[in-house]
Amino acid sequence: MSEFKSLDEALGSKVGKFLCWPVFDKEAAEDRITQLRGLGVDSVALGGPHRVLGYLILGKGHVGVVIRAMFQGREVALKCRRTDSDRKTMDNEAKLLRKANESGVGPLIFAHSMDFIVMEKLVGPYFGDWARDNIEKTDEIRKNVSIIIGIARKLDVARIDHGELTKIRRHFIVTDGGPRVIDFESSSLGRIPQNLTCTVQSMFLHTKFSNVLAQAYSMPGKDELLEVLRSYKKNPDEENYRGILRVINLI
């Protein structure tokens, strides 16, 4: 694992590139260091499962790059707004992640500023990769499918639409404690939540992933599934939720 660099040395080191990335600008980078001081971040480091420009870090998306950091004596994940992101601030994502946390969902958020979110670091493979590599462990597959469905339901109940659960494979990290959902960047409180319906569709209906899952899981019939999804869309109550659970063979 790479060593941590204090905020004083960060901009002069390799990890500093990711604080203001992909277009480095000295003034913007210094402003970002000031933000990190204000947040109480002590240091930052390379390291993690994903390679970006030859360096390993925790991850990269369209809005942010995620690196390791030290905050109040613990190692955390620091999501840094990309300079080419179409989001102007991290405010919306931070607000939605806080709200998700109230339902026990998502990495715990510790602090945020215009360009950063300080959050719990989750360790483990993406659910898509995990499922492919563990496809013979049918009990574990079933357990993790069940946890993911439960998370999607919790978000629906909280009226948070995650916004990207049509792509479940990369939006759940399978930690030692089970799958956890990440990335509230596209989330909204203003839309009708479609977390459960999107999750179920991306697991069970004609996706590349559903073909993988079919090797380990007793898959639902398509017509039956479409019918319970339709009922749930009309009325996402507990009974229609249980209707989905029955058809996807979880109860």
Ligand X SMILES: Nc1ncnc2c1ncn2[C@@H]1O[C@H](COP(=O)(O)OP(=O)(O)O)[C@@H](O)[C@H]1O
Q: Which of 61, 124, 150, 178 binds Mg ion (CB under 5 A)?
A: 61
Q: Which residues contact 110 (CB under 8 A, 6 or more apart)?
A: 71, 72, 76, 118, 119, 120
Nearest-approach distance from CB 9 to ligand X, in angstroms: 23
Q: Which stretch binds ligand X (CB under 6 A): 14-22, 113-121, 148-156, 230-238?
A: 113-121
Report yes or no: 176 and 124 within 8 Å, Cβ to Cβ: yes
The listed partner (ligand X, Mg ion, none) that binds 178, CB under 5 to 8 Å by sort, is none
Check residue 111 for interaction with ligand X (CB under 6 A). no
Map the footprint of ligand X across residues 15-74, applying CB under 6 A.
50, 58-64, 66
User: Would you say the C-alpha torsion 88, 89, 90, 94 has a positive or negative sign?
Assistant: negative
To which residue do tokens 């596209």 refer? 186
Check residue 97 for interaction with ligand X (CB under 6 A). no
Map the footprint of ligand X across residues 190-229, applying CB under 6 A.
none
Check residue 183 for interaction with ligand X (CB under 6 A). yes
Alpha carbon distance 78, 69 (integer Å): 6
- Binding residues for ligand X, rule CB under 6 A, total 20
The token duo for 203 is: 């697991």
Q: Which of 126, 151, 183, 247 binds Mg ion (CB under 5 A)?
A: 183
The amino acid at 126:
Y
To which residue do tokens 């905020």 refer? 7
Alpha carbon distance 60, 21 (integer Å): 11
User: Would you say the C-alpha torsion 151, 167, 225, 222 has a positive or negative sign?
Assistant: negative
The listed partner (Mg ion, ligand X, none) that binds 163, CB under 5 to 8 Å by sort, is none
Contacting positions for Mg ion (CB under 5 A): 61, 183
Contacting positions for ligand X (CB under 6 A): 50, 58-64, 66, 77, 79, 107, 119-122, 170, 182-183, 185
